[in-house]
Structure 1
Amino acid sequence: MQILKEKQSLKKQIRAYKQQGLTVGFVPTMGALHEGHISLIKKALSACDKVVVSIFVNPTQFDNPSDLEKYPRTLEKDVARIMEVSDKVLIFSPAANEIYGNNIVSENFSFDGLEHEMEGKFRTGHFDGVGTIVKKLFEMVEPHKAYFGEKDYQQLQIIKKLVEKLQLPVEVVGCPIDREISGLARSSRNERLSSEQRQNAALIYRILQQVQNDFGIKSASEIATWVHNEFRNNPALELEYFEIANADDLKTATDKKEGQKYRAFIAAYSGDIRLIDNIALN
């Protein structure tokens, strides 16, 4: 297994792969790997000759400095976890100045309005940071395919839009949400939850499942009222937002249209730990 920290070394290795006619898969992560990340790596390994996993806590996508400071950094453990899956993965783990130089700032992007929905309303500049780092990593890795989990569904749609607008030669592959036994969507932030918080956080998925069940028989406004009441009755979690949205443009659904796909989205806090989840409704 190779662990590279410099982008020039990475580019040299990618060139060597491509000169051999090998396909390159890419799984970008911020580390603190869990089974959700591992499922993405396995998916990439099943479809590509070589797989690059980046481990980089990207400072420009954090709107909250405290969240950036507390984000778990477990590189040694992450490497060991990847080794259990395959010794043929190339790990790219750069320092921030290797990516950004001395100017750690985001580019400004337009994602045709996707960036203004849901997360965009609550996390100022977040998707500019996501677009910046994904663009930089795609330019360095030049993958044939890149793998992202649907837990961050809005991010997935934004990355697809980035690739479309910049005409980047990469296929973005969305992968199903990986869940704990309780149904809680796997996230690196889950490691900061106490056992009691973890148990309470499973409510998020149970609510989404009920929303999925009710979607065919109740209006969006009736469902939203029920969701807000459920959170009010469970003070261990603080609801930030609940949305039923068009699965393509993420606009809030006011009525249901035949042939249109919809998803339900929740962001909530357990203490100071922010959790997100979503589910397909039809």
Structure 2
Amino acid sequence: MTGLRQALDDYLQLRRSLGHKLAEATWLLPDFVAFLDERGQTTVTVTAALAWVRAREGEVVTTVSPRRITAVRGFARYLSGIDPATEIPPLGLLPHGQRWRQPFIYSDADVTAVMGQADRLGPPLRAATYRTRVGLLAATGLRVGEAIKLDHDDIDWAEGVLRIRETKFDKSRLVPLDASSVDALRAYDNLRERDAPRPTDPSFFISRTRRRLIYAVVAPTFRQMVAGAGVGTDAPNLPRLHDLRHTFAVRTLLTWYRTGVDVQAKIPSLSTYLGHREPSSTYWYLSAAPELLALAAARRQGIGKAPRP
């Protein structure tokens, strides 16, 4: 373990002992340290922090970019007491809310094409891990971190329900699955039991080392799958893994509008299903697709309303 990796472990352990949840730092900072290790850099600098942001998000500042710098700032403050050469990124280095990023909404064909790229990733278990994970995210709208944290015991096979434990905003919830999703998870579980019968971690999805996957590996692997499938090549913003969650929410809302469902009455249930803190967060998706926004506007004006089933 490198000095920075050990320092990061110590930092996260200290912050947890002080009662901090560190929801974002726990997945952002390991990726940052891995980035520094790849460059052979042992000291945190402002230049390195900005290079990491650009490497992960391109030249456009997104809503995640300032949060990356905020996570680095806290770590750098801790490191400055150990390594005087540490540079602490200043406040305002990247402005919050500079640009809202239009999500990429996947079609069924897009999801199928991306999942089809899994067979190019190597051994059967690794291919199945990514194929099943992408399918689960598309079918349930889970956050990426929630799928990563999913343990084998979190699946109720008899009821077809996932238990999502203490995720964002410290909320736990139950997520029901349709029959096809249960079948896909069971097929993966059978392969996992055959090829890796004694995994190191309790995680349901495991890596080639039989450990829990990490976002720093999952995200670039997904980008590789998207590129191989040729999905979103002409889109203004390249498809992201998190856009599968956006797609689930948008398509759910589209179905409700097209079938005449009282969307305003149903929003709280979708908010609970997605694990949002409050329904206002779910209303954001109304602006994520032009067709959805048009349907919402027509509903408010009392036109184009389909009869209720």
TM-score (norm 2): 0.29
Who wins on radius of gyration, i.e. which is larger?
2
More helix by share: 2
